Each structure stands twice: as structure tokens, then as C-alpha cells.
């Protein structure tokens, strides 16, 4: 995204841009939906309010991004058409985002790994050559900074809390770690968007994510799990079974009453 | 095992230039969490630009039973107020 | 306590001091002075307040559940964020109220224990199920509408912390009813199926909403004393009447029928006169025999139980990492 390469940048195709924005949009949407499930069921009243705020930020990001995706696509689909009338294989969220909440430890681990990725991604995207995307990133990066502060804080409390809490987050970390492969492994689209100056250089995200997560794990007295290969990537539409259930619930009303306004 | 969090009092500065004002209380396990909870509870509608949290148990309060000796003696010190002094209307800028 | 030893001269003197104190207390209330936590107050005043504030707090918390039931299924992203923000507000209200109750010397932990053990009461309205999306509209419009009607006078309640909590709550409530009515409006202007959904929701929520104001004045145990103490400003029936008078025209605007065949407008009194309320249902729901009493308490117990290890971990972490005093000067 350096200014020097401006003159030689290739123009991205609309399909690529649409697909790329959907990755960000769907990741925020699905993560926001997951957190929304917890409202009223958190470990303390104060945490209910906190989780609600995270969810509101994420769904807010998703709405802006979905609207942008709809404009790029140019077929008249608005945020709701994209959120409620697509099937699981058309969703482009990273697989980590759709993982169930599990216990509070699993929720925190998922959020921590995801928050770090969103934070670094949006940080880079504030310099995107796509002005609209850069504007959204400017807003989102502030939110993600707080999300990270929240989830990393809790990771430390749970990792360095009691024996039980340590064991619980360690288990969650072991089981969710495989999904981080997708966050850090660029595919052809990531590479093309980086060349266009729209998306960040994948190597940069990996490096910053690694540093950030390593610090948080150290503070939480947790060991970084060994690398786990996991090539089925939600960002290419290959999801875990959880997404179908999440969508069945989320989409049921608009799909039961086609064409209705709400 | 202890699962009770500490009661904190929350003070919010609503705009820069104004003082922090007591807005309520909350429970938190540590100071950082107390700030976060205060943010999530008491500034959701842009009510603040700065937060103080204080453990409720750290607040020293006057005793209402002593209110008479503490506050009544100020009542007759009317000479502390500018309206106590009669200045002719013709005198300006005073 | 002193009543046990009425014969002794010390007790007689104490008795006189007590009645003097009571008189002075009542005089403060009559002058519209606020009572603050450390002020002297009659034990009965403290108990009445505590019961009322705790019930109110529990209602906010349990009230998150029926609406929370539809967050994941809200039919548009706009409706979803509104509902999240609304349910989140109710959690905040619960917090403010628990805090107010704590100033009376009972910890939040104890209050929650009373709720989870089934000893404490909460508003019976939240023991009804939310079956369709229209129920979210009906709750905002009717249940929040009734709650606001109840709560606005409480902003002037004689107990300072409660009154201040209510001021904050009423400010936040103002969008709750409007978003509910907006849902009802959209549905009633929508397809036939949507209109039917809206009517069905009104049919199910109308009577329980009227019961939210509590038993009729003739059967209300606490009203008179609470009014004298300015813990309560209007009687149950007065508030219920006010609610009916403002709500019936709103239903008419929606083109929906209020499910009360006896409802009529009394020209001379300028009030709507409703048909008789089935109080046996109210008492049954209050006793725990409502459609969702078990589920609501179960959900609260489950959340509290599942959160225990989290709360313990945070407390243990704080113990290990005691921050040094005066880490940063306040500024
Ligand atoms: Fe409320
Ligand atoms: Fe409300």
C-alpha cells in the first residue's frame, strides 16, 4: 500500500472487491451474532453489558461492509438481502468466527484470536486504496482496539486465575488454534488485493498478529499450541457445520415471509 | 472460593472542562475491569470523556448524625456572600 | 426490638425517642427532602424499599430473557442492533437498581441468591413466552409502556439512590417503547400474515400488561403506607387507568383490536372503562404457575452457575496482581 507503487497498481475486478469485502463483513456479522446469543446469560451482569457492546460494534461493522458489498455488486442487494438470503456456502467469514460460544473461556479465546486479526487487518485497511473501505476501517479499528483490550484482559484473568480457569482456557486454545491457520495463510484473492493496494500485505498481518497474540498468551501464562494444519477455509465458503445452524436461526423469519418488510 | 467482586463507585467527566461527577456504582474484580465496566455501563450514550473508579470501601464519608455541627455553623456567615454588601448603584465594575 | 420490654422506664423513654424520630422522619418526607443511605430511617421503610427495589431489579434482569429469545432471530440487522441495545439497557437497569438496593445494606450476591432460590418476586409479565417476532413489538409498546408509566413517578421517590437510578432508567427507557410501537406499526401495515401476527401478540400481551400495575387498590397491601413515605406516588388503579387511556387510541391507530369485549369509552368521566381483569391468572403466575416461570429461573440459575468459575478466576487474578496504591494521579 505504499504510494510509490501507485502508478503500476492493477485495477481490481468488481468480483474480487465484492468477495473481499464480504470476507470482512461476514466475519463481523457472524462473530456479532455469536456474541449476541450470550446476552442475558453472561457470568456477571456487567459482562452481559460488555458482550452486548462487542456484538453491537461487530454488527455495526457488518452493516457498513455489507452495504458496501451490495454497492460493489450492483445488483440491488442491500445489507439485509446479503445477511438473510444467502446460504452457508455463500458466506465468506473466517471459520473461527462461527465457532460456538462454548464456556466463557472458549468465547474469550475465540474473541482474542479473532480480535487480534481484525485489529491488525483494519489497522492496515485504514490505508487502503479503496476509500470507502478505508473509511469503514477507520471506524472499526477503534472498536477492535477496545475488543482486544477486553478479550486480552480476560484471557489473562482466566489463564492466570484459578487452576480450573487455566485448564479451561488451555483446552479452548488447543481446540480453536487450528482455525488461526486461515487467518494467517493468504490465498490468491488476498494476494491480488494486496497487489492492488486494497488489502494489506499478508506477511505484515501474520507478523503483527503473532507478536500481539504471543504477548497475550505470555500474560495469561498459556503456551502457544503447536501449528495445526487446517486447509478448509470459511473465507472460501468451506465452513464447519456450525454455520448452517447459526444461519437457520438467524434467517428464519425473513425466509418464512418472502418479500415482507420488518 | 471467593467469587464476589468489589463494589466500585464511578465518576464520569461528561465533557472536557467539566468536573467528574458521581454516576453510580458497579462490581468488578480489579481496577482495569472496573474502568471497562464503567465504560460499558455508564458511557453507552456518549455520557463521558473520562472515568474515575474508586473502591466504595475507600470512600470516607461524613456522618449524617454530625450534620448539625458540620454544616449549620456556616449558615449565619452571610458576610461571605457578595450580596451582603451594599454598594451604591453608581459605582461600576465592582 | 424495644417493644419486648415495654414495662421498663428505659424502654418507655426509648419508645418516646423512637416516636419523635419517626415524626421527624415523616416531616422530612413531607417537606420533599430526600432520604440518603446513611440517614436514620424506620426499619419498615428500609424493608419496604428494599423489597420494592430488589423486585424491580430482578424484573429487569429476568426481563432480558423473553426479549433475548429473539435477538438471534431479529428479521433485519437494524432490528437486531436495536433489540440488542434494548436488552442491554435492561441489564443496565438491573445493575443500577441492585446498586441502589446495596446502599440499604444488602449485597448484590444476597439479592441474587434470593432470586435464584425462588424467594424473591419479580414482575409476572416476564413469565409469558415470546412466540413470534410481533411479541417483541408488543413488549416494547405495552410492557415498556406500562413500565414507564410506573417508573416516571418513582423519579421523585423519597429515597435518593432509588430516585436517581430511576431518573437514569427513565431516560434510557424512552426509546424502548418507541421501537416496540414501530415494530407493531410496520407489521400492521404489512402483509395479512404480519397483521395477524401483530393482532395475536396484542391479544396475548394486553391483559398481562394491565396486570403489571399490580392488584387493584382495594386488595393492595402496601399502597397506603408506601404513598405516605413517597415510595409510591400513585395507586395501582390510577396508573392502570392512565395506561389504558393512552394505549387504546394507539391500538386504534394500528388498526388492531384490543381484546376486551367490554371496553367502552365513558364520555362523562373521559376514561376508557375496561372489562374485569382475571386476577386468578395474575395470582397463579405470581405463585410460579405461569407458562415460563420455571424456564426463566432455570436460565438465571444456569448463567449464574456457569459463571461461577469465571468470577472466581477474576477474583483470584486480582488477588495475585494487587495493583500498587496510587498508580496514577487522578486527572
Ligand atoms: Fe428497564
Ligand atoms: Fe425497557
Packing angle of the helix pair C192-211, C160-188 (nearest 10 deg): 150
Q: What is the pLDDT of residue C204?
A: 98
Residues B58-83: what's their mean pLDDT?
Answer: 89
Residue A54 Cα, ligand 1 centroid: separation in angstroms? 21
Alpha helix positions (H), chain C: 9-30, 43-62, 64-68, 77-102, 108-116, 134-138, 144-151, 160-188, 192-211, 223-228, 236-254, 279-284, 293-320
The minimum CA-CA distance between A27 and chain B, rounded to whole Å, is 23
> Do the Cβ atoms of A50 and B28 come within 8 Å?
no
| A260 touches C191 (CB < 8 A) | yes
Packing angle of the helix pair C160-188, C77-102 (nearest 10 deg): 160
**Alpha-carbon gap, residue A111 to A114, rounded angstroms:** 5
Is the pLDDT reported for residue C323 higher than 70?
no
Average pLDDT, whole number, for chain C?
92
The minimum CA-CA distance between C313 and chain B, rounded to whole Å, is 8
Residues A183-212: what's their mean pLDDT?
Answer: 95
Please tell me which of the candidates C164, C308, C315 has its beta carbon nearest to residue B5. Answer: C315
Residues A160-172: what's their mean pLDDT?
Answer: 98
> Do the Cβ atoms of B37 and A153 come within 8 Å?
no
Please tell me which of the candidates A50, A153, A162 has its beta carbon nearest to residue B40. Answer: A50
- The interface predicted TM-score of the complex, written ipTM, equals 0.96
Average pLDDT, whole number, for chain A?
95
pLDDT band at B3 (very low <50, low <70, confident <90, very high): confident
The residue among A102, A107, A77 whose CA lies nearest residue A90 is A77
Is the pLDDT reported for residue A2 higher than 60?
no
pLDDT band at A9 (very low <50, low <70, confident <90, very high): confident
- Run of H or E including A52: helix A45-73
Residues 6+ apart with CB under 8 A from A192: A12, A16
Residues 6+ apart with CB under 8 A from C256: C184, C188, C198, C199, C202
Q: What is the pLDDT of residue A151?
A: 98
Number of residue pairs across A and C with CB atoms under 8 Å? 142
> Do the Cβ atoms of B27 and A46 come within 8 Å?
yes
- Run of H or E including A121: helix A104-125
Is the pLDDT reported for residue C325 higher than 70?
no
Return the number of other C-beta atoms located less than 10 Å from residue A102's C-beta: 16
Between residues C14 and A129, the one the model is more confident about:
A129
Query: Could you tell me which chain A residue has the CA closest to the CA of B4?
Result: A44
Residue C57 Cα, ligand 2 centroid: separation in angstroms? 12
> Do the Cβ atoms of C71 and A56 come within 8 Å?
no
Is the pLDDT reported for residue B53 higher than 50?
yes
Residues 6+ apart with CB under 8 A from A122: A137, A140, A141, A144
Return the number of other C-beta atoms located less than 10 Å from residue A203's C-beta: 11
In percent, the amount of chain C with pLDDT more than 90 equals 83
Residues 6+ apart with CB under 8 A from A23: A92, A93, A94, A235
C-alpha cell belonging to residue A21: 469485502
Q: What is the pLDDT of residue A11?
A: 86
Q: Could you read off the pLDDT of C170-224 as tens digits, one per residue?
A: 999 989 999 999 999 999 999 999 999 999 999 999 999 999 999 988 877 767 8
- Between 3.80.10.10, 3.30.390.30, 3.10.20.520, 2.115.10.20, what CATH number should domain B6-80 receive? 3.10.20.520
Q: Which residues of A touch B5 (CB under 8 A)?
A: 44
CATH architecture group of domain A13-227+234-255? Up-down Bundle (1.20)
Ligand located closest to C59 CA: 1
Q: Burial code of B38-66, b = ≥16 C-beta within 10 A, e = fewer?
A: bbbbbbbeeebeebbbbebeeeeeeeeee
Domain ranges of chain A: 13-227+234-255
The residue among A215, A176, A212 whose CA lies nearest residue A31 is A176
Q: Could you read off the pLDDT of C153-166 as tens digits, one per residue?
A: 999 999 999 999 99
Amino acid at each position: 500500500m505504499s504510494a510509490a507503487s501507485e502508478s503500476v497498481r492493477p485495477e481490481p475486478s468488481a468480483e474480487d472487491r465484492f468477495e473481499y469485502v464480504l470476507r470482512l463483513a461476514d466475519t463481523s456479522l457472524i462473530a456479532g451474532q455469536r456474541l449476541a446469543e450470550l446476552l442475558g446469560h453472561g457470568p456477571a451482569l456487567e459482562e452481559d453489558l460488555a458482550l452486548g457492546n462487542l456484538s453491537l460494534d461487530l454488527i455495526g461493522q457488518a452493516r457498513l461492509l455489507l452495504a458496501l458489498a451490495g454497492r460493489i455488486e450492483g445488483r440491488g442487494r442491500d445489507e439485509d438481502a446479503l445477511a438473510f438470503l444467502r446460504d452457508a456456502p455463500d458466506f465468506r467469514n473466517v471459520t473461527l468466527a462461527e465457532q460456538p460460544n462454548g464456556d466463557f473461556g472458549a468465547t474469550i479465546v475465540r474473541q482474542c484470536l479473532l480480535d487480534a486479526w481484525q485489529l491488525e487487518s483494519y489497522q492496515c485497511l485504514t490505508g487502503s486504496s479503496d476509500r470507502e473501505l478505508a473509511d469503514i476501517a477507520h471506524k472499526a479499528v477503534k472498536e477492535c482496539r477496545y475488543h482486544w483490550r477486553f478479550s486480552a484482559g480476560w484471557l489473562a484473568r482466566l489463564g492466570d486465575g484459578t487452576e480450573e480457569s487455566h485448564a479451561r482456557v488451555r483446552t479452548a486454545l488447543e481446540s480453536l488454534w487450528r482455525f488461526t491457520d486461515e487467518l494467517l495463510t493468504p490465498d490468491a484473492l488476498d494476494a491480488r488485493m494486496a497487489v492492488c493496494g486494497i488489502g494489506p500485505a499478508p506477511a505484515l498481518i501474520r507478523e503483527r498478529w503473532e507478536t500481539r497474540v504471543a504477548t497475550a498468551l505470555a500474560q495469561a501464562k498459556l503456551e502457544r499450541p503447536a501449528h495445526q494444519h487446517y486447509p478448509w477455509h470459511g473465507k472460501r465458503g468451506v465452513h464447519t457445520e456450525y454455520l448452517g445452524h447459526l444461519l437457520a436461526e438467524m434467517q428464519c423469519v425473513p425466509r418464512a415471509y418472502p418479500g415482507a418488510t420488518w | 472460593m471467593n467469587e464476589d467482586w468489589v463494589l466500585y463507585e464511578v465518576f464520569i467527566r461528561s465533557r472536557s472542562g467539566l468536573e467528574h461527577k458521581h454516576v453510580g456504582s458497579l462490581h468488578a474484580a480489579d481496577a482495569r475491569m472496573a474502568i471497562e465496566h464503567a465504560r460499558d455501563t455508564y458511557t453507552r450514550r456518549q455520557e463521558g470523556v473520562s472515568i474515575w473508579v474508586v473502591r466504595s470501601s475507600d470512600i470516607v464519608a461524613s456522618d449524617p448524625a454530625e450534620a448539625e455541627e458540620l454544616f449549620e455553623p456556616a449558615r449565619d456567615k452571610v458576610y461571605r456572600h457578595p450580596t451582603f454588601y451594599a454598594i451604591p448603584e453608581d459605582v461600576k465594575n465592582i | 426490638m424495644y417493644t419486648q420490654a415495654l414495662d421498663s422506664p428505659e424502654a418507655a423513654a426509648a419508645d418516646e425517642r423512637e416516636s419523635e424520630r419517626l415524626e421527624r422522619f415523616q416531616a422530612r418526607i413531607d417537606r420533599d427532602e430526600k432520604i440518603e443511605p446513611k440517614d436514620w430511617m424506620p426499619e419498615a421503610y428500609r424493608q419496604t424499599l428494599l423489597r420494592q427495589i430488589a423486585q424491580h431489579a430482578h424484573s429487569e434482569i429476568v426481563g432480558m430473557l423473553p426479549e433475548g429469545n429473539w435477538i438471534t432471530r431479529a428479521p433485519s440487522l437494524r432490528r437486531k442492533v436495536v433489540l440488542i441495545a434494548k436488552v442491554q439497557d435492561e441489564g443496565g437497569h438491573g445493575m443500577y437498581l441492585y446498586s441502589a438496593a446495596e446502599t440499604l445494606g444488602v449485597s448484590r450476591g444476597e439479592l441474587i441468591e434470593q432470586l435464584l432460590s425462588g424467594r424473591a418476586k419479580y414482575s409476572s409479565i416476564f413469565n409469558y413466552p415470546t412466540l413470534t417476532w410481533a411479541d417483541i413489538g408488543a413488549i416494547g409498546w405495552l410492557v415498556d409502556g406500562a413500565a414507564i408509566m410506573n417508573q416516571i413517578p418513582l423519579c421523585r421517590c423519597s429515597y435518593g439512590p432509588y430516585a436517581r437510578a430511576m431518573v437514569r432508567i427513565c431516560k434510557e427507557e424512552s426509546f424502548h417503547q418507541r421501537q416496540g410501537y414501530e415494530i407493531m406499526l410496520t407489521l400492521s401495515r404489512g402483509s395479512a400474515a404480519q397483521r395477524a401476527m401483530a393482532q395475536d401478540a396484542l391479544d396475548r400481551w394486553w391483559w398481562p400488561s394491565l396486570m403489571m400495575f399490580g392488584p387493584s387498590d382495594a386488595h393492595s397491601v402496601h399502597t397506603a403506607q408506601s404513598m405516605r413515605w413517597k415510595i409510591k406516588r400513585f395507586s395501582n388503579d390510577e396508573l392502570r387507568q392512565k395506561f389504558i387511556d393512552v394505549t387504546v387510541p394507539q391500538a386504534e391507530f394500528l388498526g388492531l383490536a384490543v381484546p376486551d369485549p367490554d371496553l367502552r369509552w365513558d364520555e362523562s368521566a373521559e376514561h376508557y372503562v375496561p372489562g374485569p381483569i382475571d386476577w386468578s391468572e395474575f395470582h397463579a403466575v405470581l405463585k410460579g404457575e405461569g407458562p415460563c416461570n420455571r424456564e426463566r429461573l432455570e436460565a438465571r440459575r444456569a448463567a449464574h452457575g456457569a459463571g461461577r468459575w469465571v468470577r472466581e478466576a477474576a477474583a483470584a487474578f486480582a488477588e495475585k496482581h494487587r495493583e500498587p496504591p496510587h498508580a496514577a494521579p487522578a486527572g
